[in-house]
Amino acid sequence: MRTFSIYALAIAIVTAILTSCAPAKVTESHLHGPTMGTTYNVKFVSKAGVDEAKLHKQIDQILVDINQLMSTYIPDSELSRFNQWHSVEPFPLSPQTLFVLNEAKRLGEMSNDILDVTLGPLVNLWGFGPQQRPEKMPTDALIQATKQQIGLDKLSVDPSSATKSVPTLYVDLSTIAKGYAVDQLAELLLSYRIDNFLVEIGGEMRLSGIKANNEPWKIAIEKPASAERSVQKIISIGNNAVATSGDYRNYYEEDGVRYSHLIDPSTGYPITHNVVSATVVHHSSMTADGLATALNVMGKDKALALADKYDIAVLLITKENDRFIEYTSAKFEQLVTVH
């Protein structure tokens, strides 16, 4: 009996040693919530010592702060107060808003003013802003008159303020602010030494490292069809951000004519070409966000030319004879893995 007890004790000790030496199971954490009229999702490989409740509160506070700075839907946000400032005198702005404005100006210049964050009056005129769909289509005379109210050349950005040369100039950062927010959440995770994560706000994403199962993060690019939700392509992008712009969800029809929410600043009218989706991969989500919109508005040939000139990773999808056709830049082929 004593021999059996010693044997059982030995087995128990060996089992305990083996169990203590076995690696702990790697898990993923998922924090999520509402923001910017959509939702956010933050997934990361769980890390010992991280207070996830505290992290979640910090995420929510960052998003509240960015909204209070840059939302056009909050009447007393910093950007709304700038838009209500009908003066040509400098208006003091926070470093965060100035940072985003400077990037918007840079991308606007890069795209020959196709990305124009002063486009708001035209967006509202066509019924895609807070005022919603117009009761009747705007006349060409009204469109041309409204065009005189917009233009990046009418906006100056200084180290501590911004100035309008036209008092009624209206700035809308919706084409770039979500991407900025994604970058800010990614930097927060990195400050916690969390290196394996996926951050997503309303479809704009930034990724780093790998998943808990040692596989790369995989992203589904949606098929640009308004009548269904299906996958066009599944990709991995490494430690980068990705943003997609498309006109297949946000549009309306009037008298048999389809009006896209994407407005071409050079004409004042919604786009009519056959590019239905543009996906950009870049190390910054803010930059990818803005470029995706600009390249979508530009059309296939101009977009691919710009991508080659500035080494931009882009996937364009066009609709040709009821078929979806893909076009990619050299940088996209270099950065992206297709599954």
Q: Do domains 24-72+174-209 and 218-339 have the same CATH topology?
A: yes
Neighbours of 268 (CB within 10 A): 21
Contact status, residue 297 vs residue 264, Cβ threshold 8 Å: yes
Task: Indicate the range of 13-17, 268-272, 299-303 predicted with least confidence.
Answer: 13-17
**pLDDT per position as a tens digit, 230-280:** 788 899 999 999 999 986 555 555 555 556 778 889 898 888 888 889 999
Structure confidence by residue, pLDDT tens digits, 186-233? 999 999 999 999 999 999 999 999 999 999 999 999 887 766 677 888
> What percentage of the chain has pLDDT greater than the value 90?
70
Please give the class, per CATH, of domain 218-339: alpha beta
- Can you tell me whether residue 14 is helix, strand or coil? helix
DSSP code, position 154: G
Contacts 24+ apart (CB under 8 A), 325-328: 326/232, 326/233, 327/300
What are the backbone angles phi and psi of residue 296, rounded to the nearest 5°? -65, -40
pTM of the model: 0.88
Pairwise CA distance, residues 106 & 295, whole Å: 15
**Rounded distance, CA 296 to CA 278, Å?**
5
Instruction: Report how far residue 199's alpha carbon sits from residue 51's, in angstroms, rounded to the nearest whole number.
Output: 18
For residue 9, pLDDT beyond 50: no
Q: Do you know the residue count of the chain?
A: 339
* CATH domain 87-164 topology: T-fold (1.10.3980)
Cβ proximity of 298 and 306 under 8 Å: yes
Q: Which of 325, 173, 178, 311 is nearest to 242 (CA)?
A: 178
Q: Of the candidates 259, 153, 191, 149, which has an alpha carbon nearest to the alpha carbon of residue 50?
A: 191
The answer to whether 162 touches 82, Cβ cutoff 8 Å, is yes
Exposure string of 213-249, with b = 16+ CB inside 10 Å and e = fewer, is eeeebebebbbbbeeeeeebbebbbeebbbbbbbbbe
Q: In what order do the strands lie in the sheet with 241-246?
A: 28-35, 38-45, 197-201, 204-208, 241-246, 275-282, 313-320, 323-328
Q: List all residues 6 or more positions away from 76 whose beta carbon is below 8 Å from its beta carbon.
A: none
We find that the CATH architecture of domain 24-72+174-209 is: Roll (3.10)
Q: What is the share, in percent, of the chain residues with pLDDT greater than 70?
A: 86
* CA 225 to chain centroid: 20
- Which token pair is 251? 């549009």
State mean pLDDT over 305-332: 94
Which of these ranges, 176-180, 191-195, 322-326, has the smallest mean pLDDT? 322-326
The two three-digit tokens of residue 326, written as one number: 């893909």
Q: Where are the domains of the chain?
A: 24-72+174-209, 87-164, 218-339
Q: What is the pLDDT of residues 53-110, one digit of tens each?
A: 999 999 999 999 999 999 988 999 999 999 999 999 999 999 999 999 999 999 999 9
